[in-house]
Amino acid sequence: MKKIVSTLLLFCSVILCATEHCIATYQKGDDGFEFYFLKDTIRNTTGIMLMSGDTLFPPIYGNVCYYWRGKIMSYFLVHDSLCYAGVYTRSGECIIPESRGYDEILDVWTRKCFAWNCYKLNDTDIHYIKEVCDWKGNVVFKPIERYVECLPIYQDHRMYFMVRSIRNTLNTHYVDINGKRCYDLDELPKEQNLLPYGRGMFKRMKGRK
């Protein structure tokens, strides 16, 4: 009986959404998490509705995507109407708010470590500054006349950060998540794949107001 009532409530929620020019599409994440993707056909915006019929994100976002990273993390990545990115848990708890003004957020993780690469574009097409956040959304590094890259080293499941001067690319070294210097550029084992993650991926976003 409870299942029937729950189904009816969900059906009513979908109908109500449809009357507000929204289309609800069933989705299932790689971890089995089920939800409905909401699409406002008038404003061309998106949102998320839970299977219970509760709205997790109202359909006011430019884009919403769900990601599962094994036992480490599962989250929603959203972009608001100004194209700024934010990160939320699947229960709706905010990890990184859109108000920080990040143009894009990429996760970097191993089986034991997790961090966020957070991009901000400046006035040129391909240059950007970046902050690195831990899995809770706390800023670990802020670039001050330097460039920061978050690099996973899969051999020992540890997370390192590459820090180099924007003006002097030879002044490059690696630090751990606590900011302690670990390696200089020429000290890393040659067989380890330590190329910067995501460099050059982002150009000026279209549609910025």
The pLDDT assigned to 96 comes to 96
Amino acid at residue number 20: E
**Would you give the end-to-end CA distance of the chain in angstroms?**
50
76 DSSP β-pair partners: 66, 88
The pLDDT assigned to 50 comes to 95
Cα angle value 18/19/22 (rounded, 5°): 40
- At residue 152, the 3 state secondary structure works out as strand
Structure-token pair, residue 167: 């003006």
Q: Cβ atoms within 10 A of the Cβ of 150, count?
A: 26
Per-residue pLDDT of the chain (209 residues; tens, 9 = 90+): 444 434 434 444 444 454 468 899 999 999 999 999 999 999 899 999 999 999 999 999 999 999 998 888 899 999 998 889 999 999 999 999 999 999 999 888 877 778 888 888 766 545 567 788 888 999 887 765 566 667 666 556 677 777 776 666 666 777 776 667 776 766 655 434 333 333 333 333 334 44
Give me the residue label for tokens 């670039």.
Answer: 143
The pLDDT assigned to 46 comes to 94
The pLDDT assigned to 13 comes to 44
Nearest to 27 by CA among 72, 83, 69, 90: 90
- At residue 141, the 3 state secondary structure works out as strand
Structural domain spans, the chain: 1-101, 104-209
